[in-house]
């Protein structure tokens, strides 16, 4: 008795009233609460002083018995292992812990034997799928999407008794798609998409799943043919086999899928023609078989279906578009670009169909643009570039106010553009370049308030630029070069504050530059060459801080070269052939500007060739220059010819390539432990470890056991580029040796050491330290990519950033690499990274061979900064961009360009995927999710580096800082499910270069 009283006293003191009345099920649930981490207090209302748990949030009870039947706690931020105690709730049928942080699913889950619905999607589950799940006798719904399950699908899964929905999307399952899934005869939905399965066929047994309504096998590494048996799935409404390696023809049995609504077969290697009998698919609304190798024509019967969306782009389809497509009452999307289609579009196309997206670009279509395309008033995208369309833009399209994206470039279109067409209010991209359009640019353009890209180059437009153009506040890119435009630039054009590019070269524009151009804060390129512009060049140009390319050549500009120009970091400056006078500002008296001021007879510069030097010895410098050029050119042709003949002769004479060592000169930059003879003796084709655009690379093992890498630069006429590399600068540059000497002096732990160079008159060797783990690109994008875990990738990023920062900020003069890419980042035995191959591309720039070599394109597809692609000019920020692409590669594990991205490159793919699907779809699935927070931060840096405007990109020094900040806080990380990313603005119109 005394003891009991003491006990009560104790409880009172503790302030916790006794939990005597709560039901047993309530007590179980309360223990479940205690077993979970609940940072948001989502379960705060689960109070053990209540009598029953039935009113607790997320808990559902049977009204009659008061027994718990359902538990629904989505997105509650609960963490911890799956609470097996839940299985004590003997009537629990519905359990959803969707989007929490549940870390493990023990096999004991099979004790929850009443479960009908189990949703554990978007958690942190790892390891093998529990085989015991199949022992749940009533389970009908199993959703484990978005976890990190790995290994095989257990064989027991073939024994589910009542399962209707099985979704294992976005896991790390790496076995194959098993045949035994064909035994789950109750299945209505099977969704295994986006797993890194081992390559394997679609099991024909899946054709036994006669109740199946949805079969989603996107990106499952499927190979071989599509099995005929799938035609037995009479109830199938959705068939998605996209992004696999399927080959062979589309089986004709698929025409038996009488319920099918949607078929997705894009991005495979399917061949042959679209099967006959498609008209039997009377329910088919969406068909996407794009990005395959389909041939033949588009069958007439296909267009008799109630199709809404037809995507057959990037195939090899030929013949004409069936005229009956014009009768499709529901068709809103038609994408046929990149095929070999011919003939005309049906005259009444759009009369019946509510067309919204029409893309027939890059085919051989001809004839006129159908006038009725926008008859239903819904047309948003009209993309017809690279065809042979002719005739005018039909008048009715001028009333198509829904249009947003119009690309008619590269056709034979002609006539005046309808005046109302200029002023369509929602159009942001209007491309009419490379046609034969004539007449004026309509004053109505002032109404096109959303316009950001206006591309009119290479037509026959006349008249003056409309005054209203200055009201287009979103205009980013305006090009109308090579037309017959006259008159002066309207004053209003100066107020285009977003303008990044203005290209009006080769017109007949006259008058002075408008005042107030300091408002062109974002202008990157200004090209007004070959007009009749006059007056002085305003000093305000010097305040355009991001101006990169300035060409005012071939005009009538007079007065002085404004000293303010020296404030700019220009990659291209051309003021030649004007009437400028006075003295050149001192900065421009350098060699690299020697062609920038030619043909200005009144201009004097300190010793600059072609300009007056006070003495006036070269009054006719223009003609002299021309003459000299012709001689030099003739000389070059002769030398190249003789060289070529000599090479041929040599090859013919001796098949054996004996190297005459006496002719080699060796230049070494480090204390060498080897002699050049040793190297020359080992240049065997058997030792080739790589070949790039500039030469072959050999591995040479020296007698002392050490290895070196020897790069033999191509001699003779340069080879066509490989690996999509754009051609680099010439290697037979006179300044080569001097440059090699500079580079040889560089000592930095993150830059590959150049031991020495050996030169003869027609061949050059560079001897580097050997990097046993090869290039980052090769490793990351091979099957061994999984070896690179996040900490290694992070360190590689750090190392490479430090190397580049050294080149940019610690070398005098700074060195711009110009070809930063994952293939130029090499890995030593410990996966330490070093930047390589910075020599050759750079040589050109600083030896000052003048403009031609300076404007040589360097860089590789997918890495080239946007400003570089159109200005051919680089500075450090272009390297930053390329480095950003490397960061994105490290984060995503994807290549910078990939057919899967379609017209996009990695940068755009990341932006769009982030936007539309979230960060989880961007991050390489091979990476451990416990590093997610760090990965997101590196991703963020990658996005900053790849910002379209150079000024928004951080310097490499800053990049190093940003990366270091991550490691500073790099205590063991708890996974952060929603790694926050700063929103990133993306507008595809900023890239007029993309196809269609």
Ligand X SMILES: *[C@@H]1O[C@H](CO)[C@@H](O)[C@H](O)[C@H]1NC(C)=O
Give the binding site for ligand X (CB under 6 A): 62, 65, 67, 90-91, 182, 204-205, 207-208, 229
CB atoms within 10 A of CB 591: 13
Rounded CA gap, 803 and 489, in Å?
46
CB atoms within 10 A of CB 617: 9
Contacts of 380 (CB under 8 A, 6+ apart): 356, 357, 402, 403, 404, 405, 426
Tell me the HSE value of 462 on the side-chain side, using a 13 A CA sphere.
4
Please provide residue 613's backbone torsions phi and psi, each rounded to the nearest 5 degrees. -115, 40
Q: Which lies closer to ligand X via its Cβ, residue 184 or residue 427?
A: 184
Please provide residue 463's backbone torsions phi and psi, each rounded to the nearest 5 degrees. 80, -175
The whole-angstrom distance between residue 539's C-alpha and the CA centroid of its chain comes to: 39
CB 960 within 8 A of CB 798: yes
CB of 163 to ligand X, least distance (A): 16
CB of 984 to ligand X, least distance (A): 48
Strand partners, 697: 690, 711
Q: Which lies closer to ligand X via its Cβ, residue 203 or residue 744?
A: 203
Binding site for ATP: what residues are annotated? 712
Rg of the Cα trace of the chain? 34
CB of 953 to ligand X, least distance (A): 56
Rounded CA gap, 976 and 980, in Å?
9
Rounded CA gap, 10 and 13, in Å?
5
CB atoms within 10 A of CB 656: 5
Contacts of 445 (CB under 8 A, 6+ apart): 422, 423, 451, 454, 466, 468, 469, 472
Q: What angle do CA 789, 794, 797 make, to 5 degrees?
A: 130
Q: Which lies closer to ligand X via its Cβ, residue 161 or residue 721?
A: 161
Q: Which lies closer to ligand X via its Cβ, residue 62 or residue 789?
A: 62
Contacts of 210 (CB under 8 A, 6+ apart): 185, 232, 233, 234, 235
CB of 253 to ligand X, least distance (A): 12
CB of 91 to ligand X, least distance (A): 4
Q: Which lies closer to ligand X via its Cβ, residue 208 or residue 531?
A: 208
CB 77 within 8 A of CB 100: yes
Is 819 an annotated catalytic residue?
Answer: yes
Q: Which lies closer to ligand X via its Cβ, residue 253 or residue 594?
A: 253
Q: Which lies closer to ligand X via its Cβ, residue 204 or residue 343?
A: 204
Tell me the HSE value of 374 on the side-chain side, using a 13 A CA sphere.
22
Nearest CA-CA partner of 50 in 26, 82, 76: 26
Rounded CA gap, 326 and 332, in Å?
11
CB of 66 to ligand X, least distance (A): 7
CB 56 within 8 A of CB 76: no
Rounded CA gap, 531 and 549, in Å?
17
CB of 259 to ligand X, least distance (A): 20
CB of 211 to ligand X, least distance (A): 13
CB of 201 to ligand X, least distance (A): 12
Nearest CA-CA partner of 620 in 653, 598, 594: 598
Q: Which lies closer to ligand X via its Cβ, residue 204 or residue 277?
A: 204
CB of 205 to ligand X, least distance (A): 4
- Produce one character per residue of 342-370: b if its CB has 16 or more CB atoms within 10 Å, e if not: bebbbebbbbbbbbbbbbbbbbebbeebb
Nearest CA-CA partner of 552 in 504, 498, 485: 504
Please provide residue 608's backbone torsions phi and psi, each rounded to the nearest 5 degrees. -75, 135
Contacts of 993 (CB under 8 A, 6+ apart): 869, 870
CB of 158 to ligand X, least distance (A): 11
The whole-angstrom distance between residue 519's C-alpha and the CA centroid of its chain comes to: 31
Rounded CA gap, 646 and 667, in Å?
27
Binding site: what residues are annotated? 712
Rounded CA gap, 605 and 612, in Å?
7
Residue of 477, 725, 799, 819 marked active site = 819
Classify strands 556-559 and 532-536 as parallel, antiparallel or unpaired: parallel
Q: Which lies closer to ligand X via its Cβ, residue 207 or residue 423?
A: 207
Q: Which lies closer to ligand X via its Cβ, residue 190 or residue 298?
A: 190
CA distances from 856 to 482, 524, 842, 897, 950 (A): 23, 19, 11, 22, 20
Rounded CA gap, 926 and 773, in Å?
20
CA distances from 354 to 121, 326, 327, 346, 569 (A): 38, 10, 11, 15, 50
CB of 181 to ligand X, least distance (A): 11
Sign of CA dihedral 925, 931, 937, 942: negative
Q: Which lies closer to ligand X via its Cβ, residue 153 or residue 406?
A: 153
Rounded CA gap, 106 and 830, in Å?
38
Q: Which lies closer to ligand X via its Cβ, residue 158 or residue 622?
A: 158
Rounded CA gap, 886 and 943, in Å?
11
- Active-site positions? 819
């Amino acid at each position: 008795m005394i003891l009991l009283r003491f006990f009560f006293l104790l409880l009172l003191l503790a302030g916790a009233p006794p939990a005597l009345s709560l039901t047993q099920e309530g007590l179980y649930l309360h223990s479940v609460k205690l077993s979970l981490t609940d940072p948001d207090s989502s379960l705060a209302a689960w109070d053990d002083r209540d009598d029953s748990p039935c009113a607790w949030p997320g808990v559902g009870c049977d009204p009659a018995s008061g027994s718990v039947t359902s538990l629904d706690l989505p997105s509650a931020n609960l963490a911890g292992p799956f609470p097996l105690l839940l299985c004590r709730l003997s009537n629990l049928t519905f359990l959803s812990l969707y989007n929490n942080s549940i870390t493990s699913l023990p096999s004991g889950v099979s004790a929850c034997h009443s479960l009908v619905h189990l949703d554990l999607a978007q958690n942190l589950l790892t390891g093998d799928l529990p085989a015991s799940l199949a022992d749940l006798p009533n389970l009908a719904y199993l959703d484990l999407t978005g976890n990190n399950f790995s290994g095989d699908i257990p064989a027991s899964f073939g024994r589910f008794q009542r399962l209707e929905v099985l979704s294992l999307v976005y896991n790390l399952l790496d076995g194959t798609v098993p045949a035994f899934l064909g035994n789950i005869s109750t299945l209505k939905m099977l969704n295994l998409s986006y797993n890194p399965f081992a390559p394997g066929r679609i099991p024909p047994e899946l054709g036994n799943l006669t109740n199946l309504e949805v079969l989603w096998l996107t990106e499952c590494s499927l190979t071989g043919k599509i099995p005929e048996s799938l035609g037995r799935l009479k109830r199938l409404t959705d068939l998605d086999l996209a992004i696999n390696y399927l080959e062979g023809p589309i089986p004709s049995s698929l025409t038996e899928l009488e319920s099918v609504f949607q078929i997705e077969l894009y991005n495979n290697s399917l061949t042959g023609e679209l099967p006959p009998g498609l008209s039997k698919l009377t329910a088919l609304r969406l068909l996407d078989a794009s990005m395959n190798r389909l041939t033949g024509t588009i069958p007439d019967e296909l267009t008799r279906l109630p199709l809404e969306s037809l995507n057959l782009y990037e195939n090899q389809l030929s013949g004409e578009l069936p005229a009956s497509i014009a009768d499709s009452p529901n068709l809103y999307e038609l994408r046929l670009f990149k095929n070999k289609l011919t003939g005309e579009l049906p005259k009444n196309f759009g009369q019946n169909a509510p067309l919204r997206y029409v893309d027939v670009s890059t085919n051989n279509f001809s004839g006129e643009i159908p006038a009725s395309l926008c008859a239903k008033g819904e047309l948003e995208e009209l993309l017809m570039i690279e065809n042979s369309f002719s005739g005018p833009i039909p008048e009715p399209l001028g009333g198509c106010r829904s249009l947003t994206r119009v690309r008619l470039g590269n056709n034979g279109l002609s006539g005046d553009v309808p005046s109302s067409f200029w002023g369509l209010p929602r159009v942001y991209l209007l491309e009419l370049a490379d046609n034969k359009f004539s007449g004026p640019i309509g004053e109505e353009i002032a109404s096109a308030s959303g316009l950001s890209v206006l591309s009119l180059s290479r037509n026959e437009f006349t008249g003056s630029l409309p005054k209203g153009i200055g009201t287009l506040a979103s205009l980013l890119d305006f090009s109308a070069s090579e037309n017959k435009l006259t008159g002066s630039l309207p004053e209003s054009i100066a107020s285009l504050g977003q303008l990044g590019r203005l290209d009006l070269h080769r017109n007949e524009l006259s008058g002075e530059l408008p005042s107030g151009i300091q408002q062109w804060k974002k202008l990157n390129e200004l090209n007004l060459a070959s007009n009749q512009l006059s007056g002085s060049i305003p000093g305000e140009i010097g305040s355009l801080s991001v101006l990169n390319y300035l060409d005012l050549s071939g005009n009538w500009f007079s007065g002085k070269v404004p000293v303010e120009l020296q404030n700019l970091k220009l990659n291209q400056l051309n003021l030649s052939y004007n009437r400028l006078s006075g003295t050149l500002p001192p900065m421009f008296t350098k060699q690299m500007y020697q062609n920038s001021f030619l043909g200005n007879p009144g201009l004097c510069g300190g010793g600059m060739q072609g300009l007056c030097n006070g003495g006036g010895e070269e009054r006719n410098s223009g003609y002299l220059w021309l003459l000299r050029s012709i001689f030099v050119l003739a000389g070059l042709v002769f030398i190249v010819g003789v060289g070529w003949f000599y090479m041929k002769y040599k090859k013919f004479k001796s098949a054996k390539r004996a190297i005459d060592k006496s002719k080699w000169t060796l230049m070494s930059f480090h204390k060498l432990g080897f002699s050049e003879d040793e190297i020359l003796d080992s240049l065997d084709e058997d030792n080739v470890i790589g070949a790039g655009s500039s030469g072959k690379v050999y591995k040479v093992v020296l007698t002392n056991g050490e290895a070196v890498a020897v790069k033999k630069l191509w001699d003779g006429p340069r080879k066509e580029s490989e690996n999509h590399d754009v051609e680099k600068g010439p290697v037979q540059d006179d300044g080569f040796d001097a440059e090699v000497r500079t580079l040889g002096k560089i000592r930095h732990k993150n830059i590959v050491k150049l031991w020495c160079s050996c030169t003869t008159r027609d061949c050059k060797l560079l001897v580097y330290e050997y990097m046993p783990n090869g290039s980052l690109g090769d490793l990351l994008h091979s099957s061994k990519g999984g070896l690179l875990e996040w900490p290694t990738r992070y360190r590689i990023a750090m190392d490479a950033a430090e190397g580049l920062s050294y080149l940019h900020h610690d070398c005098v003069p700074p060195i711009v690499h110009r070809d930063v890419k994952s293939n130029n980042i090499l890995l030593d035995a410990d996966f330490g990274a070093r930047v390589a191959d910075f020599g050759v591309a750079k040589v050109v720039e600083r030896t000052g061979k003048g403009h031609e070599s300076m404007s040589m394109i360097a860089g590789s597809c997918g890495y080239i900064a946007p400003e570089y692609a159109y200005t051919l000019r680089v500075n450090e920020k272009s390297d930053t961009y390329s480095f950003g692409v490397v960061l994105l590669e490290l984060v995503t594990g994807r290549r910078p360009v990939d057919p899967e991205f379609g017209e996009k490159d990695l940068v755009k793919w990341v932006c769009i995927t982030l936007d539309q699907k979230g960060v989880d779809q961007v991050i390489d699935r091979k990476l451990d999710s416990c590093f997610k927070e760090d990965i997101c931060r590196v991703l963020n840096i990658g996005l900053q580096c790849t910002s379209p405007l150079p000024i928004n990109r951080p310097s490499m020094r800053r990049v190093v800082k940003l990366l270091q900040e991550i490691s500073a806080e790099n205590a063991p990380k708890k996974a952060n499910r929603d790694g926050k990313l700063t929103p990133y603005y993306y507008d595809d119109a900023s890239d007029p270069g993309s196809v269609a």
